[in-house]
Structure 1
Amino acid sequence: MQSSVTVTPAALPEVLLHVAVVRPVFLWGAPGIGKSAMVRQFADQLGLECVSLLGTQLAPEDLIGVPQIADGRSRFCPPEQIARDEPYCLFLDELNAAAPDVQKAFYSLILDRRIGTYELPAGSVVIGAGNRATDNALARPMSSALANRLVHVHLRASAADWLTWAVHAGIHPWIVEYLTQRPDHLWSAPPKTEEPFSTPRSWHMLSDTLTSYGDAVNGPRGTEIVGLLAHGTLTATHAAGFLAYLKTVRNAYGLEAILKGDARWPAAPADRDLLYFLAETFRARLAKDLPADKRHASASVRQFAFRAKGLLVELAEISLEIAQLVIADDDAGNTPLPGWFLIDAAKDMPRLVAARAGK
């Protein structure tokens, strides 16, 4: 299931506060963006215990219980994990990955808040979560009967929200600093093959492993260790970018220094990965700081744009291929840089090249 209307992690608690307390909610989202953690945090905010049931590990009897004979009649006794006296948050994780008969067992629990004769205590909330079929994750079609019993909320990853959380959660400073520069690397679409991919969860794992290694990541084998960890948790492209970023830190390189004229593009063949990272960061900076309409550009922005055109020339002298990547369309065929800048760059490039040749 896809939706053009989504919410960020920062906006989710307010939505749940108004919706989950009156109707069951189903959270859709890609793997690793923190759905489970956000539900547990929401339950904590309400002062409710969060009871998690994993749909892929359940059988129908795990929900409806087993029959017992009482006074000559049979009745189902729901499991102790569900049949509680105090209100709680029932979290049905991977609900849409459960077998069809397990999904059916949830019907009365979700709609009527009861199983057999047991009824959820007043004040309890029911929240489900699952991945989408397009995420290449285990997801079964959700029956219309079940889908119609839920309020569907689609969650999207937000670098700004995650970085705000990361600063206070003890995430490794290298990761916070890198994703501050490259927020677009926080998440990547799940691959169709068995390989690591970037999510908030995988960056968190990388942080934990870097912290576990301690000072060794700064030692003689530091690059080897960080390379092993990064390629074991992130996409190959993001891992290479992260390693190149660390190279900038360790060699006093940085885009800001290049923009100010205090440093030059690294030109050594051994620094080609570093040059690629800086060019990608340069591209992201241009897309962020340049307005779509030139009329909205302040004097400082126009000065920045002029400086950027000169840097493109310098970059092209080192690697025309990498310079072209700065102004090329993205993988989806979209042009991230404003058209006026590309036109100005095309007009001014010959003059800038001639000026540099005359030095």
Structure 2
Amino acid sequence: MSVNATTVSAGEALRVLQAGWAAQMAGGLTVSWMLHGRPGVGKTELVQSLASQIGAELFDLRLTTIEPQDLRGLPYFDHEAKKTVWYRPEDLPDTAAPAILFLDELTAAAPALQPTVYGLLQERRVGRHRLPANVMIVAAGNRVEDGAIAYDMGTALSDRLIHMIVQANAEDWVKHYAMPAGIHPIVAAFIRTRPDLLETTEDSLRRGQMIACTPRSWTRVSRIMDSVSDRALRGVMIAGTVGSAAAAEFALLADEIAATVQIEAMLATPRRERAALYPRTLHGLTALVYGLTGAASRENLAVAIEILADLRGMGGPALGGLPVSELASFGFELLIGRAFEQGWQEVFAGSEAYAGYAAERRAAGLP
């Protein structure tokens, strides 16, 4: 049975859930949500981001690892009242603070568990225990066609949920996930220049291959890049994470970037001597933008602004006609976002380099 809901990126799904939370807190909409999507597309990370942004405690229940009594609790006999009483399980929220109850792997849960889940999704209770009004319920799971272990969701269950299909989107991933998550700049640059390799599950299934590229697997590649310095050992690990073909392409890019991108040196070099340090390839410049944003601090932000502003003047024959203006604009979008997150707006306000860059854009009729 297909899921006839809207397909959205992870960033769009996050914005929908934020609006749902706001509506729930205003007392106008208390519902349960369901995120469908292929394995590794980022459903769990999405819910973790939501919890962080709204300041909620996350109660993460993996439904494939529990039995009905784990949700219902355990009974004991109250001799004085002459009745059976149930101990509430500690995995269910019972707090006055904001909380998210995340029912992960819902579509892979045993059918015997579903009647217990019904009460949580529709009535927000299990037995006599009711969830507080400040608890948001979000479920997630794979679809049968995704090649994962999954059961078709019956109408009795699906009717209790608002559904969204989460699909990997490279632009959304690099802009809204890679930077906040601290993804290695080489990984971010690779996905921006090879967006077709962010998610290859369907292609891998068609080829009969076990390993596919997913947002989750590229996050793991980022951790490998941060943790393993030996190139040969790192290559084996990455091939075992995203497959040998994607790993070979990534290795070529990583070598190129490692040889040309010198972020620390650029930040330490006077402005008039910096031109020779700019990479001469699109891959290298893209990695420079991500690495510069990730390395930015209040102390070096003014220099980072200069580096991006001067990138616009590095085009033409010097860089073989590469789209440096567009890349500089994208870099400023990332850097401004980081500055607002950290409260560094005054550095931009006082930057002559950024004022010159903004004036050039206005003169060209650009926003």
Normalized against structure 2, the TM-score is what? 0.63
Following superposition of structure 1 onto structure 2, how do residues 253-268 of structure 1 map, counting pairs within 5 Å?
A: none
Q: CA deviation at 1:246?
A: 3.5
The equivalent of 2:142 in structure 1 is 131
Secondary structure of 2:70's aligned partner: helix
1:240 to 245, 248, 251: 248
The equivalent of 1:14 in structure 2 is 15
1:166 to 166, 169, 178: 178
Q: In 1, Cα distance between the equivalents of 2:255 and 2:90?
A: 54
The equivalent of 1:176 in structure 2 is 188
Secondary structure of 2:241's aligned partner: coil
1:79 to 71, 89, 96: 89
**Distance change >3 Å, CA 29–CA 77, structure 1 → 2:** same
Whether the aligned pair in 2 keeps the contact of 1:96 and 1:139 (CA below 8 Å) is yes
The equivalent of 1:198 in structure 2 is 213
The percent identity for this pair of structures is: 33
**Distance change >3 Å, CA 90–CA 255, structure 1 → 2:** same
Whether the aligned pair in 2 keeps the contact of 1:248 and 1:254 (CA below 8 Å) is no
The equivalent of 1:331 in structure 2 is none
Q: In 2, Cα distance between the equivalents of 1:32 and 1:209?
A: 17
The equivalent of 2:126 in structure 1 is 115
**Distance change >3 Å, CA 178–CA 234, structure 1 → 2:** same
The equivalent of 1:151 in structure 2 is 162
Q: In 1, Cα distance between the equivalents of 2:77 and 2:19?
A: 41
Q: CA deviation at 1:247?
A: 5.0
1:91 to 94, 102, 109: 102
**Distance change >3 Å, CA 89–CA 250, structure 1 → 2:** closer
2:115 to 98, 101, 104: 104
Q: In 1, Cα distance between the equivalents of 2:5 and 2:100?
A: 28
Q: In 2, Cα distance between the equivalents of 1:101 and 1:249?
A: 52
**Distance change >3 Å, CA 121–CA 46, structure 1 → 2:** same
Whether the aligned pair in 2 keeps the contact of 1:6 and 1:153 (CA below 8 Å) is yes
Q: CA deviation at 1:196?
A: 2.0
**Distance change >3 Å, CA 211–CA 61, structure 1 → 2:** same
**Distance change >3 Å, CA 79–CA 174, structure 1 → 2:** same
Query: Does 2:59 correspond to 1:33?
Result: no
| RMSD (Å), alpha carbons | 2.4
Q: CA deviation at 1:63?
A: 0.6
The equivalent of 1:324 in structure 2 is none
Secondary structure of 1:138's aligned partner: coil
Query: Does 2:55 correspond to 1:43?
Result: no
Q: In 2, Cα distance between the equivalents of 1:127 and 1:40?
A: 11
1:43-66, Cα deviation, whole Å (9 max, x unpaired): 222222110100100100001112
Q: CA deviation at 1:248?
A: 4.6
Q: In 2, Cα distance between the equivalents of 1:236 and 1:52?
A: 33
Q: CA deviation at 1:256?
A: 5.8
Normalized against structure 1, the TM-score is what? 0.64
Whether the aligned pair in 1 keeps the contact of 2:186 and 2:257 (CA below 8 Å) is no
Q: Where does structure 1 lack aligned partners over 5 or more consecutive residues?
A: 217-221, 258-303, 305-359
1:128-183, Cα deviation, whole Å (9 max, x unpaired): 00011111111112221111111111111111122123234332222122112111
1:18-61, Cα deviation, whole Å (9 max, x unpaired): 33532100100111121111112212222221101001001000
Which protein shows a greater Rg?
1
Q: Where does structure 2 lack aligned partners over 5 or more consecutive residues?
A: 25-29, 261-278, 284-320, 322-367
The equivalent of 1:56 in structure 2 is 64
